[in-house]
Structure 1
């Protein structure tokens, strides 16, 4: 399964299922506004769709030189291993990630920099997950401050995506939030919401 999504503002995602038990998710935001941002986002989406590896570190290292001809992008790549119940991730720029459950929610962001611009430092990290955990990725059109209090309720991924957009939209940029409910034995449920500035 390869599921790309891109809206006019340059925010987008790619979901790719591979190896029978792994799911890779990339959320990205083309830099700038208008056509410039869209072109950068389209370039990263196309790179993701044709990448030789979906491991987060390798995918970003592969994409970086190919993005030099664009305005660049912020991005986060997460690889969910349903057999090992672990997730690995790496990011460049201001894409934010929350993961966990109602009892404990953690926040992570990528390393500073711009994919496709100057030198970048890519650091891949990992964490374990349990059935029913939630993974949330969002672009910088949504405020991360105050986000955690929205997550301590028993909401479906689609409800959570809507509530996050309603409460956290900054009003200054396009925004995308991707909410995933993670399970080892059944399909990962993914919902997204977008706002066009």
Structure 2
């Protein structure tokens, strides 16, 4: 009779340990699964993608104050082929031009406000997506605050300019890996070629 309570306690402890072990492995696997409604964008310093860096399917409107390109090489509704590789499935994808703009465009390094690994060489953000950036081209190494909301953890993040260009910059609609992206921000002219 005295052994019965001890057997029950031992069984309870072992059962609890098994439950805890089961919970810890399932959570990590779920976090590694990409969202069906978003894509990773940019690269982290460790794995090349970050669970907190999801890109929305619809990028929304162009930022306020950005100047439309007067005579872009690829006007709105032009069918093109992308040569950029910002995200998986982008290089070689067929796309339609959704907007063309004249501004300064930057690749930036930043750490998401949501935590996680730093993102290196994120392409692209435009002058109008940098807080208090003015209208002059910013030098490489300049520290800025991001106003862009391309991904979770981007808006309000402190960033450093890695490089810049004054090429015409475009918003595009394209399909890759079975997902349709609309108003994707951004690709520059050298990352586009005529549709084949």
| Structure-2-length-normalised TM-score | 0.23
Higher helix share: 1
> Which structure would you say has the larger RCO, counting Cα contacts within 8 Å and 6 or more residues apart?
2
Structure number with bigger Rg: 2
